[in-house]
Structure formats: structure tokens, C-alpha cells
Structure 1
Amino acid sequence: MGDVVSSHLDESRREMITARTRDVMKEFSDVYEQQYAVALFNSVRFEIEGGGGTQSQLLHRKDPLAGRSIFSGNLFQYLEENRKWRNRFVSVPNAYTINLHESKKAHEQGLHPKITINCAGYKALTSMDEYMELMNTSLPGVKAKVGNNPFIKCATAFPLILWHPYARHHYFCVMTEKEQKKWHAVLQDCVRHRDNGLPEDCTVQTPAFTVAVRRHRQAKGHYGTWDMMCGAPPQILANLVMEGLHPELRSAIGPRLKGKMQQRQRSWMLISDAVYRQVLTQTTTQYGALVDACEAQRVPLDARLRTDMDQIITSKEHVSSKIRALVLPKAEALLRNSIQPYISSILEALMEPTSRGFAEVREVFFRELVEISKNSLNGGGKDKLGDHMERLSMLAFHPVKMQSCYEQVEQLNLEGLQQRFDVCSPSVFVSRAQILMREQMDNAVYTFEQLFHQSLENQGESDMCKTVQRCQDRVLKKYDYDSSTVRKRFFREALLQIIIPYMLQRLSVTCSPELPRFKELIFEDFSRFLLVENMYDEVVLQSVTKDIMMAVKEAAVQRRHNLYRDSIVLTNSDPNLHLLGETPSVDWASKFGADEPEEVVGRSMEGGGSGSRRRQVVSMIQLDGVPLAYESCLEVPGVELIPEEDGELSEGQREDRGEDEEADEELPEGPKSPDSVNEIRDLINPMVEMVLPVAEEQQSDLANGTEATAGTLTAEDGLQEEVTHVTTVVDDVPRKSPRDRASVQTILQHLVESKKQEGDNERREEAAVEETPTAVQEDDSGLTADVSAAGSDSERPPPLPTDSSSRDDSGFQSPTGAATDESEPRPTTNGLSGEDKILDPVEVEVTLA
């Protein structure tokens, strides 16, 4: 496929791509430098004048994922180079990148990953049909048939695909639906986190970059929202270049691609990825140089602003009043005729799913606290409490547990409004709401941790359930208030994002030609900080703000949205709580002496050095007790050879080893070849093991050894087999009490298929005693059926256990099937010569000819 890329991306075309990227970056840089000075002015003015929104009631954690990783496990990846599926160990660090290692051992040794995927701009898909629907629109003039086969044949029925409009796609698959759901939640969380790449705490760079991108797109005629405003600034700039370059290259190269439609789609994907990587390399370098140049001027600009702040503000108010007189009448007419009738319907479409999502966050948080209360009521120790608190501390960053909250917001539908207001898709608002939900969940968890820890230090661990309840009530009240404030702010911002671009586009025809004359009213010394275009945008914003605030206030009165009215203003009613926010997070594992959970993965390259250990938020899918035979660079195994995860592993904790053994039993064991002559002989002459009791005073008469004999053994189907050898093994097994024997006997009786089979067993045993004195009497544990299977030519039984100590020998019934008092020993025909001996438990091996 490299030949396809090189043949269509020759030197002249690569030079054209470089020149186009340079031109776009030049235009963007000019706008960014202007907006950088304006953003610095707004930041310094806000700092001097103060103000701001309402104060949060919940505490904020500074670095919640310090020393953590998100997830790790095994996936099967499709390799484009050889078109093969290979097993890969995948780790997701706290940076939310996807690192693919050749094996888990390579990851633990701190080796660099083979591939690192930055998920910004991707979509996580779980269906090949959904993927092909996107692929069929990638080439112009190509109409794919319904149900057309993709160019990739997935190895299992549970694919996972990362799709990007410009970059290379990544294909994975897993073995079970449960794994697919968990991995899909993790991949979506990676996309969600990486899309939110512009830090809000950068009060100068982020506003300057956002406005510069919007200005550049408006100059090209694009006023609406943009769903590729995702990732770090260099990625957004690469998307900005590709927005105009990609269709042009597709029209030029698409008709020249050869082969079937699937092959052409695959070739175009590789070509597009090569172009995107070339553009991204340029934007990364040039944006870094642009930021450095602007930051070098920040100190003198800041000093100048602080000196002339009053004069700059006065000049701005004067020019804004002139612009307002021109724009406001036209804006009000447009607002009254084309926008006001739709504000309530837009707001309703936003509020319903968002309110359900925040309510689900509250419910998930409440359920976790109920589990902690149950632990305290049931007498759980410190270790259990430490484990619960460790899991609670990472609840907001657990993609699987938060998935039910995220799904509520994904139901947001703006159909009917998107075309009118030029909204590309609701994904912009969905992603923003989900980020806010995660922040509110972490704030609630962190606040509860601090309150609970303070209560434990002051009151001790007595009556812990009431302590949990008191802290829970306080946190939920603060969450209700904060979530209401956050949602109202989100609704206002979303309405502005939808309405303002629409108004600017409609007013641009009549207002934009008039704006240049207002530049004469600005002093030259202040021209860097006061731009007419920015003041024009502010006037349009002010014209619609009143209507938006009124609509949100009216919605807050309705109880079904669970919003506080603006008249209810909660000041900082809990000042002591915010003092706790300055204290570091509680390390619950070390405080309560809990063992390090199983989520702890090996060495990590990110954030801790090659020898650090970091705890994992989500439990691994691969069971530690099941060896992975297909470790690396092997073909995809059959579905039955990879076990499905047994639940959530108690969120990474598997205290009972028996669960791992049960998981092992689920793996079907295929036929194996015998490794020795003895094993071959055993297949020809199968051996039957049985345990018979013998009295202590008779043990001296018995000795270990094999004795040749002659006899027959009657199977269940009436088939008689010859007995050639009897091996006696004497083993000291403690005698069970009659009570214990009775209980085990009861259990064994329940395992018998039916009462009819019990009667058949009794009649066969009586016949065997009367007709063949040398026959070995069998118990009711199913050995007769095993002998029958061993004598059959059509089926060979699985090998029986040879360790008598692992068997429970306390549930034997009388050989005659009669009801007896188990406290009295009964004679058992054990000798092959016909003599009766009261025996203690021994192991007898019978070889059938």
C-alpha cells in the first residue's frame, strides 16, 4: 500500500500541500496575534475589576488521576501491513492515549509501545455496518450497494473500530459482547477526554485561539458550529487545513484509484492519512513558533495595559455605543421574527436529556454510598472500607460505571433545528455536557472523601453508618445546587453557540460594510487592544442575552428540570469545608491497610518512571488465573479459547481463588496425544479407581501392591469386562463422624439423576454379589456409568483423579442398598478370594482387559 500512497502523492503534490498549509497558517497567525492582545486585555481587566459567577459549593480536586491508569487488557488488532489479526496488550494511561504493546511483559518492562493512538476527532464504532455507512461517503460518485462487504473481514462478531474523517482508521475485535461493551466505554472516554483539549484555565491563549479559528472559518463562509473543533490546538489547525484541502484532493485523486470499490476505499484512507500526518507536522511546528512569539510580547503588553486601563475602557465604551446604535435595531428585528419563537423549543431539546444525565450521576453516586453503608452494617473491616473508598475515589473516571450517565445525554436530538441554525451535529453539546457531568461527579466524590475523613478523625470509627449518612446528605444537597448552576450555565452557552452564528450570518450583509468606519474612532495606541469586529460581536451578544436569560429563568421554575431559581442564592454557607479543599487527597488504601487492588498494573512509561506502580481505575478484562496462550504475534484463536470475564472482578478484586478455577473449567479441553507408553497402555486397558473402608485392626493385613486375578465386572448396560489386575493402596484418611457422613451422603444422593437409576444400581450390585464373588462393589457416585463408558468403543472417558485424598469418602451407602445405621460398620466384600474384611478407606485400581 505504500506504492499507492507514493504514486498519488508525488513530490509536486506534497509541495502543494505544504504551500496550502503555510497559507492557512499565515492567515490564522495574523488573526491570532490580534486576538491575543484582546484576550490579554480582557484577562487583565477581569483581574482588576474582579467579579465572576456564583461560588461552587463542592470542592475541586487538583489532580485526580495522579498515579493512576485508566485501563489495560488484551485486544486483537488488524494490521494493514500484512492484513492479519494480532493479539496486542493495550494500556490506557491517565493521559487517555491508547498504547498498544506487543505483549503484557513488554509493557511491564517499560518498553515503548508499538503504536500510540491519540483519539481526538475519532468516533468509536461497534458495527461494521455503521463503519461501512461512513466509508461509503468517503469517495465522490461512489454508490455502494446495500450490504456490500467491507474490505476487512473481522475475526469475531464483536468489532471495535476507531474512525476518523482524515486520519488512519484502527480496527480491533474481542471475543465476547461483555468485553465489547467495556472496551467501547473506554474508547469513548478516551475520545471524549482528548476532544476536550483546550484548557479553560488558560485565560489568554484559549480565548485567543477559539476566536481566531471562528474568524477564519467565518471568512470562508462557515458560521455554524464545527464538530472538528476537538483536540489540541495543532490538531484543530490540521483539521482546519483539511476542511478545505481534503475535498479538493478527493476530487483529484479519487477517480484515478484502481480496483474494486473496497480496494479504492482502503487506498483513499491510506492516502488521506499520509496527507493528514504531513499537515499535522507543519501545524505543530508553526503553532509552537506562533505561541512563543506572542508570549514574548506578553510582559510589555501587560505593563502597558495596567498603565492605560481606564483610558482603554473609556474608549471602548464610546466606540461600542456608536456600533450599538447601528446594529441594535436590526438585531432586535431579526431576534423578534426569526429567533424568539424557537428559543423555548431549543432549550427544551437541550434540557430533557441533560437533566436526566445529571440525575443519573446523582443516582450512581448515591448507590456507591449505599454500598459503603451496607459494608459498615454487615461488620466489614477496615480493609473492606478501604477498598470501597478506593473505588469511590475513581468513580468519575470509571468509563463503565459512568456509561449510564453518558447515555442519557446521547439522546439529545436537535433535528429540525440543525438546518435552520446551521448546527453541524449535536455531538458538540453532548461532549460538553458529559465533561461537565464527570467534573460534578468527581467534585461530589472528593467532597464526600474530605468530610468522611474529617468525621473519622474527630469521632472515630464507631457508628460508621450514621457518619456515612450525615456526610452523604450534606454532599447531595451541595451537588443539587452545583449541578443546577452548571446546567443553567451550559444551557446559556449552548443557546449562544446556536443563535449567535446565525445572527452574525444574517446581519453580515447589512452591518459588515459599515464597520470599517468605526476604526477611525479608536486611538492608535489602543488599536491593538480594541478591535471593531470584537465590539460588534459583543453588541450582537448583548442583544440576545436578555431573552436567553429569561428563557432559562422560566425553565428553572418548572420542577421537572430540578433547577434552582435564580432568587435562591446560596453563599458560602460552609466555610470550614473549603478549608478542607487545601488538604491533599486521602490515600484510603494506606490509611486502612487495605491490600493493593488487582487493578494495579505493571510499570508504566507515563508519569512515574519505569519502576513505578500505578493503580488502575477499571479492572482488566484478561483474567489473571487464565494463562494467555496467544500472547503475541499469533493468529486469532477460536472463540472458545478466550474466556469471558466473570463479572466485574469485584472492580479488580478477586479474593477467592475458586472463582478463577471455575473460569478455567469453562474452557473446553481438546483431545491430547499420549506422551508415554504407560499412557498408551492405560488407554487400551483402562483403570477404575474406588475407595472402600477398612477397620484399623485389619489394616496390617493389607499392603500396597498389584495382584493378578481373574474376575468380571458388570457394567450398567449389562456388558461384562474382565478384571486382570487389582492394585491396593493403603492410605490413612481420617474417619468422618456419622453426622458428616450423612450430610455428604445427602449431597451425593441429590447428584443422582433419578430414583429409577438408584433402583437399577441396587439390583446390579446384588446380582454382582451373588454371581461373581470377585466383583468389586461400587458406590452411588457414578463409577458404574464411568466403567460403562470406558468399555464402550465409541467414547473414551476423561481421566479420573488419582489422588484419593482429594475425594470425599464419607458418603458411601451400603453395598446392598439397604438402609442401615451408619454408626455401625457393615461387612464389605473386598477380597478377591471371597473373604469379607472390614476395611478402612483404601484405593483400589481395577484394570480392565
Structure 2
Amino acid sequence: MGDVVSSHLDERRREMITAHTRCVMKEFSNLYKQQYAVALFNSVRFEIEGGGGTQSQLLHRKDPLAGRSIFSGSLFQYLEENQKWRNRFVSVPNSYNLHLYETKIAHNRGLHPKVTIECAGYKALTSLEEYIELIDASLPGIKGKAGSDPFVRSVTQFPLILWHPYAHHHYFSVMTEKEQKKWHAVLQDCIRHSNNGLPEDHTVQTPAFTDAVRLHRQAKGHYGTWDMMCGAPPQILAHLVMETLHPELRDLIGPRLKGNMQQRQKSWMLISDAVYRQVLSQTTRQYNALVEACETQRVALDGKLRTDMDQIITSKEHIMGKIRALVLPKAEQLLRSSVQPYISSILEALMEPTSRGFAEVRDVFFKELVEISKNSLNKEGTEKLRDHMERLSMLAFHPVKMQGCYEKVEELNLEGLQQRFDVSSPSVFVGRAQILMNEQMDNAVYTFEQLLHQSYEAKGEDDFCKTIQRCQDRVLKKFDYDSSTVRKKFFREALLQIIIPYMLQNLSPSCSPELPRFQEFIFEDCSRFLLVENMFEEVVLQSVTKDIMMAVKEAAVQRKHNLYRDSIILTNSDPNLHLLEDTAPVDWATKFGGDEAEGSVSDGGTGGGFGTRRRQVVSMIQPEGVPLPYESCLEVPGVELIPEEDADVFEDEEKSQEEDEEHCGPPQDPMSPDSVNEIRDLINPVVEMAVPVSGGRKSSITNGPEPTTSTITLEDGVQEQVALVSMVVEDVPRKSPRDKMSPQTILKQIPEVSAEKSDSSSPLPPLATDSSSHDNTGFQSPSSVGLDESELRAITNHLFSVGRQSSEPNAETGEKLGDKTLCITGNGREDGLYRLGKVACLQYQC
């Protein structure tokens, strides 16, 4: 396919692309230089005069992901050069770029990744149908028939596709639906943070850049929001160039592509990616040179501004008055007729999903604090508390746990308003709201950590549960106030982003011809800091600001969405708390004497070198030595019980364990299966029971299972149909413990339980635990069996539980189960222990 690119992108056409990029960058550079001086003036004026909104009540963490990586795991990647799928190990560091390695060993050794994907501008898809629709729209006139096969076929039923309108597409696939949802959440998180590439702390460069891009697009007739305003400045500039270059090349090259529909689509994607990479390299180089040139003049401009600030402000107010007299009458008429009737509708469409999203953030944070309180109340120890605090500290950056919060905002729908106000899609506002939710969650977590650490240092573990409750109430109150402040600011900014472009588009034809005459009122010394176009937009902004402020204030007074009124000000309400803002983050693993958190991975891709370790936000368990054909995080038995992975399953596990503790002692860790077949059998387990048989019946059958079916009524009234396997239990000679025995072999070696030791009135014996039988994966292994009968009985209790004597007749045979009943249960539920009738058993599949 490289021949296709070279044949359609020859030297002449590449020079044309370079010339087009140079032309766009020249126009942008002129605007950027002008807006740089204006942004510097606004920054210095704000610094001198002060101002700003209310003070945040929560603390802010400077570098929350220091020493962390987000996620790592294995998936299948489609390689276009040989059209095959290969297993790849993927690491997501705190830069939110995807690093793809051939193997996990290559990653651990610190080798360079095979592929690095910058996710800005991408869209994560989970179906081939949606991908085909986007492909068909990218090359008009070349569409496949309904039901036609795509040129990429997923190796499994759960694909993951990274789609970009200009750049290379990436195809992945995973084994399970749950794994697909997890990876989709991670990819969306990478896209979300990569799109938010303009640093807000750059008070001059960022506003200068955004205003220059906006003015450049307005000169081309594009006034509305722009979906591709995402990524770092060079990437945004590449999107700006491709916005006009891409359609021209498509009309020029598209009709000349050869082959069937699939081949032409694939060829066009390769050509588009080659053009985008050429444009991106050029915009990166020219933008860096532009910023460097402007920064060299900053000191001189700053000195001039501080010397002539009063004169510049006076001159600006004088010219603003003249422009206001021209623009305000037209703006107010447009505002009354075409804007005011729609403000409440736009605000309501924004407030509903955004408020639900922030409410979900509060609920998720509250549930995590409840878990910590339970740990303290049950006195589970500092190790358990350390694990809870480690998970809490990275809660805001856990893509899976935060996905439910983000999905609430994705319901935002501006249908009916998009066409009127030229809003391309609500994705701009959805992404911004999700970033604010992430920041609020991290602020709440960081504030709670600092308060709890301060109280713990002062009071120790005495009445620690009440200390947690006090810190929790204190942080939630501050979160409610900050959440209201952040949302009201977001609503005002979103309304301005929707309304101002619409008003500028309608006022510019009549007002723009009159603006040049106001330029003569500006002194030459002030001409670099005062631009007529900026003052015109500022007048339009002032004309609509009052109505927007009133609409948001009325919404806050109604308290429909838990917004505080503007009259409620908590500035400096907790001065002692802000003394902790510069305190270093608490390392809970070190504080409670623990080592590095479970789930840490080496991150050689970040230049740390071999042997460096970084704790991972989304922890994975991949036990070594288990022969898995697909090295996937979700193929490990019991991974659904990881609290970091699935909080709902974790809660169900806790409830189940609390019920069973009354009957069978403390809960046990799941035991390690010994083969791949046993791992697969865990998916569809059966119930096996060994029942005593009479002498006559014993002679009529041979050793082996005899399957029957029966219906068992649980304590909650639910009836479940299970498979019963009757087996003859006989005494057989024991073999050497050095031989690794399967559960079936152990079953045959168990001596018949005496009736005297299985009294029906005695409670069930607790499940034995033996720390020596745990391997390095954290799962229990049944392979260590001793010669001593007591040791054998302890190991037997891991696999079986001796049932109570039951007087209930068998549903199928009518026989009563005697006091020698043994049972193994594997119940299809993934909740650890499970009660079957009156017999509490440990989940295990032979």
C-alpha cells in the first residue's frame, strides 16, 4: 500500500501541501502576534487591579499522578502490513498516551514501545457498524452495499477501534464484553485528557492561541463551536490546516483511486494519514518558532505596559464608548428577538445531565468513604486501611469507577438548538464538564486525605471512625459549595460559547465595515495592545452577559439542581485548611508500613530505566505460571472480585461473606485451578455431592459418578435446579505428597468420615486457612498435601465442607442424606462463598 501513497502524493503534490500549510500558518502567525500583545495587556491589568471569583473551598493537588501509571494489559492489535492480529502489551502512563509493546517483558525491560498513540482528536468505537458509517462518510461517493463485509474483520466479537478524521486508525480486539467495557473506559479517558491539552495556567499563550484560532476560522465564515479544537497547539493547527486541505485533496484524489470499494477506502485512509503527518511536522516546527519569537519580546512589552497602563486603559474606555454607541442598539434588538427566548431552554439542556454527573461524583466519593469507615469500625487493621486509602487517593483517575459519572454528562442533548446557534455537536461541552468533574473529585479526595492525616497525627487511632466521619462531613460540605460554583461558571461559559458566535455572525455584516474608522482614535503607542476587533467582541459580550447571569441566578434560586445562591459566600471560611495546601501528598503505603501498592508495574517507556516501579491506578492481577493462551487481565479467575475493577461486585461479595460468616467461619481466598480446563470449567460449574449408599446398591454399581438432577430451595425461597453426582467413597492407599494430585485424586483418598465426628447438632467446622499453602499470586493452591491425617483433613476442609445431617428427603430418589454427606459446590455465581440449603460450602470446581 505504500505504492498507493507515493503514486498519489508525488513531489509536486507534497509541495502543494507544504505551500498550503505555510499559507495558513502565516495568517495564523499574524493573528497570534496581535493577540499575544492583547493577552499580555489583559494579564498585567488583571494582576494590577486584582479581581476574580469566589475562593475554592477544597484543596488542589499540584501533581496528582506523580509516580503513577494509569493502566496496563494485553489485547489483540490488527497489523495492516500483514493483515494479521497479534497480541500486544499496552501501557498507559500518566501522559495518557498509549504505548504498545510486543510483550510484557519488553515493557519491563524498559525498551522503547513499538507504537505510541497520542489520543487527541480520536474517537473510541466498540462496533464495526459505527466504524463503517464513519468510513463511508469520509469518502463521499464511495459507499458499500448494505451488509457488505468491512475490510477489517475483528478476531473476536468485542472490537475496539480508535477513529480519527485525518490520522491513522487503530484496531484492537479483546476476549470478553467486560474487558471491552474496561478498555473502552480507559481509551475514552485517554482521549478526554489528551483533548484538554491547553494549559490554563498559561495566562498569555493560551488566550492568545485560542483567540487567534477563533478569528482565523471566523474569517473563513465559521463562527460556531469546533470539535477539532483538541490536543496540543501544534495538533490543533494541523486540524486547522486539514479543515480546508482535506476536502480539496479528497475531491482531487478520490476519483482517481482504483480497486473495489474496500480497497479505495483503505487507500484513502493511508493517503490522509500521510498528509496529516506531513502537516503536523510542519505546524509543530513553525508554531514553536512563533512562540519563541513572541516570548523574546515579552519583557519589553511588559515594561511598556506597566509604564503606560493608565493611558492605555483610558484610551480603551474612550473607544469602547464609541463602539458601544454603534453596536448596542443592534445587539439589543437581536438579543430580544432571537436569543432571550432560548436562553432558558439552552440552560436547562445543560443543567440536567451536568448536575446528575456531579451528583454521581459525590455518591461515588461517599461510597468510598463508607468503605473506609467500615474498615475502621470492624477493626480490620492498618493493612486494609492502607489499601482503601491507596484506592481512594487515585479515585478521580480511575477510568472504570469514574465512567458512571462521565456517562451522565454524555446524555447532554442540544437537538433543536444546534442548527439555530451553529453548534456542531455537544461534545465540546461534554468533554469540558467531564474534566471539571475529574478535578472536583480529586480536590475532594486530596482535601479528605489531608484532613484525615492531620487528625490521625494528632489523635492516633483512638476513635478513628468518628474522626473519619467528621472529616467526611467537612469535605462533603465543601464539595457541595465548590460543585455549585464550578457548575455555575461552566453554565455561563457554555452559554457564551453558544450565543456569542451567533450574535457575531449576525452583527458582523452591518458593524464590521464601520469598525476601521475607530482605529484612528488609538494612539500609536497603544496600538499593539488595543485592537478594534477585540473591543467590538467585548461590547457584544457585555450586551448578553447580563441576561446570562440573570438566567443562571434564577436557576440557583430555584435550587432545582442543588445550586447555591450567589449571596452565599464562603470566602476564607476555613483558613486553617488552606495552610495544608502546600503539604506534600500523603503516602499511605509508607505510613502504614506497606510496600508498593499491589498492581504496580514497571514503566520503562517513560525513561525510568530497568527496575523502576510505578504504582498503577487501575490494578490488574496476572498470576505467573498459569498457562493462559491469551494474556489478558480479565481471563484470571476471580478478577471480578477486585474492588478497583468493579465496585458493585465487591459490594455483593461483602454481603455474601457477611451472611456466610455466621455458618462457616471466616471467608477463604479462592483456590488456584491447576489447568486451563479447570479455569474454563469455572465459567459453567456444577454441583457434586457424595452420598452414602446402602450395601446392596453399592455392589450394583462401579466406582464413578452417577448424575441426577434435583431442585434445591434456598433460604430466600428461590429454587435452583442443580446436577447431583452420586459417588462411592472408599478408602484407598495414599500416595506420596510429592506427586501433584488433582481434586479428583484427593477425593478418592479421603477416608470415610465417621458418624461420631459428624454429629448433626454440632455447628459446621470453620474453613481452615494455612498461609503456607499460598503461592506468590495470592491464590490458594491445593497441591500441598501432607501424610498426616490431620493435615489431610485440613486440606480436605479447603475443598469440601462436611454437611450437617439432613432429614430432608432427596427430591429425586426420596432418600435422606446421612451424616456422612460431603459436597463440593460451584454455583455459577461469582460471589465467593455461597449457601446451598443448610450446607455452607466453598466454591470450587473439580
Q: TM-score, normalised by structure 2?
A: 0.80
Q: Residue 236 of structure 1: CA displacement? A: 0.1
After superposition, the Cα gap between the structure-2 partners of 1:433 and 1:809, relative to the gap in structure 1 and judged at 3 Å, is same
Counterpart residue number, 2:841: none
Counterpart residue number, 2:274: 274
Counterpart residue number, 2:798: none
Q: Residue 504 of structure 1: CA displacement? A: 0.4
- Contact 1:107 1:602 survives alignment (8 Å): yes
Distance 1:470 1:79 in 2: 55
Alignment of 1:389-788 (within 5 A): 389-606=389-606, 608-620=608-620, 622=622, 624=624, 626-629=626-629, 642=635, 646-651=639-644, 658-661=670-673, 666-668=678-680, 751-752=688-689, 759=693, 762-765=695-698
SS in 2 for 1:77: strand
Letter matched to residue 502 of structure 2: Y
- Contact 1:312 1:526 survives alignment (8 Å): yes
After superposition, the Cα gap between the structure-2 partners of 1:594 and 1:527, relative to the gap in structure 1 and judged at 3 Å, is same
CA-to-aligned-CA distance 1:378-402 (integer Å, 9 cap, x gap): 1110111111001000000000000
After superposition, the Cα gap between the structure-2 partners of 1:310 and 1:422, relative to the gap in structure 1 and judged at 3 Å, is same
Distance 1:95 1:805 in 2: 53
Counterpart residue number, 2:839: none
Letter matched to residue 156 of structure 1: T
CA-to-aligned-CA distance 1:516-535 (integer Å, 9 cap, x gap): 00000000111001100001
Distance 2:297 2:705 in 1: 95
Distance 1:180 1:92 in 2: 16
**Root mean square deviation of aligned Cα:** 3.0
CA-to-aligned-CA distance 1:71-98 (integer Å, 9 cap, x gap): 0000100001000000000000000000
Q: Residue 620 of structure 1: CA displacement? A: 2.3
- Contact 2:729 2:748 survives alignment (8 Å): no
After superposition, the Cα gap between the structure-2 partners of 1:293 and 1:766, relative to the gap in structure 1 and judged at 3 Å, is closer
Distance 1:579 1:810 in 2: 69
After superposition, the Cα gap between the structure-2 partners of 1:668 and 1:805, relative to the gap in structure 1 and judged at 3 Å, is closer
Q: Residue 409 of structure 1: CA displacement? A: 0.1
Larger Rg computed on CA atoms: 1
SS in 1 for 2:265: helix
Q: Residue 146 of structure 1: CA displacement? A: 2.7
Distance 1:285 1:169 in 2: 24
After superposition, the Cα gap between the structure-2 partners of 1:766 and 1:75, relative to the gap in structure 1 and judged at 3 Å, is closer
Counterpart residue number, 1:59: 59
- Contact 1:151 1:262 survives alignment (8 Å): yes
Counterpart residue number, 2:45: 45
Range moving further from structure 2, 591-600 or 141-150: 141-150
Give 2:751's match in structure 1, choosing from 790, 804, 809.
809
- Contact 1:99 1:113 survives alignment (8 Å): yes
Letter matched to residue 658 of structure 1: P
- Contact 2:100 2:116 survives alignment (8 Å): yes
Residue 90 (structure 2) pairs with residue 90 (structure 1): yes
Distance 2:585 2:490 in 1: 28
Residue 179 (structure 2) pairs with residue 179 (structure 1): yes
Alignment of 1:133-172 (within 5 A): 133-172=133-172
Letter matched to residue 74 of structure 1: S
Percent of pairs with identical residues: 73
Q: Residue 464 of structure 1: CA displacement? A: 1.3
Counterpart residue number, 1:675: none
Counterpart residue number, 2:324: 324
Q: Residue 603 of structure 1: CA displacement? A: 3.8
Q: Residue 752 of structure 1: CA displacement? A: 3.4
Range moving further from structure 2, 604-613 or 659-668: 659-668
Letter matched to residue 309 of structure 2: M
Distance 1:786 1:312 in 2: 101
After superposition, the Cα gap between the structure-2 partners of 1:434 and 1:777, relative to the gap in structure 1 and judged at 3 Å, is closer
SS in 2 for 1:99: strand
- Contact 2:39 2:204 survives alignment (8 Å): yes
After superposition, the Cα gap between the structure-2 partners of 1:472 and 1:11, relative to the gap in structure 1 and judged at 3 Å, is same
Counterpart residue number, 1:126: 126
Q: Residue 813 of structure 1: CA displacement? A: 7.8
CA-to-aligned-CA distance 1:412-453 (integer Å, 9 cap, x gap): 000000000000000000000000000000000000000000
- Contact 1:323 1:536 survives alignment (8 Å): yes
Distance 1:355 1:776 in 2: 65
Distance 1:3 1:786 in 2: 74
- Contact 1:168 1:270 survives alignment (8 Å): yes
Distance 1:802 1:556 in 2: 68
Letter matched to residue 163 of structure 2: W
Distance 2:672 2:320 in 1: 72
Distance 2:282 2:588 in 1: 46
Counterpart residue number, 2:347: 347
Range moving further from structure 2, 133-142 or 236-245: 133-142
Alignment of 1:294-309 (within 5 A): 294-309=294-309
Counterpart residue number, 2:26: 26
SS in 2 for 1:561: coil
Distance 2:755 2:576 in 1: 72
Unaligned 5+ segments in structure 2 are 651-666, 682-686, 707-723, 732-739, 761-788, 793-846
Distance 1:7 1:488 in 2: 54
Distance 2:83 2:384 in 1: 48
CA-to-aligned-CA distance 1:797-830 (integer Å, 9 cap, x gap): x99679769954352689xxxx9xxxxxxxxxxx
After superposition, the Cα gap between the structure-2 partners of 1:767 and 1:133, relative to the gap in structure 1 and judged at 3 Å, is closer
- Contact 2:71 2:92 survives alignment (8 Å): yes
Distance 1:776 1:627 in 2: 31
Letter matched to residue 762 of structure 1: G
SS in 1 for 2:62: coil
Letter matched to residue 38 of structure 1: V
After superposition, the Cα gap between the structure-2 partners of 1:42 and 1:460, relative to the gap in structure 1 and judged at 3 Å, is same
Distance 1:621 1:130 in 2: 32
Number of aligned residue pairs: give it: 712
Q: Residue 477 of structure 1: CA displacement? A: 0.3
Distance 2:703 2:552 in 1: 88
SS in 1 for 2:322: helix
Q: Residue 203 of structure 1: CA displacement? A: 0.1
SS in 2 for 1:284: helix
Alignment of 1:330-369 (within 5 A): 330-369=330-369
Q: Residue 332 of structure 1: CA displacement? A: 0.3
Residue 343 (structure 2) pairs with residue 382 (structure 1): no
Alignment of 1:193-204 (within 5 A): 193-204=193-204
SS in 2 for 1:582: coil
SS in 1 for 2:576: helix
SS in 2 for 1:383: helix
- Contact 1:387 1:594 survives alignment (8 Å): no
Distance 1:809 1:411 in 2: 62
- Contact 2:627 2:675 survives alignment (8 Å): no
- Contact 1:643 1:663 survives alignment (8 Å): no
Letter matched to residue 368 of structure 1: E
Distance 1:767 1:248 in 2: 86
CA-to-aligned-CA distance 1:643-692 (integer Å, 9 cap, x gap): 576215233899976354389564349xxxxxxxxxxxxxxxxxxxxxxx
SS in 1 for 2:254: helix
SS in 1 for 2:284: helix
Letter matched to residue 275 of structure 2: V
Distance 1:470 1:433 in 2: 29
- Contact 1:179 1:644 survives alignment (8 Å): no
Alignment of 1:171-320 (within 5 A): 171-320=171-320
Q: TM-score, normalised by structure 1?
A: 0.80
SS in 2 for 1:116: strand
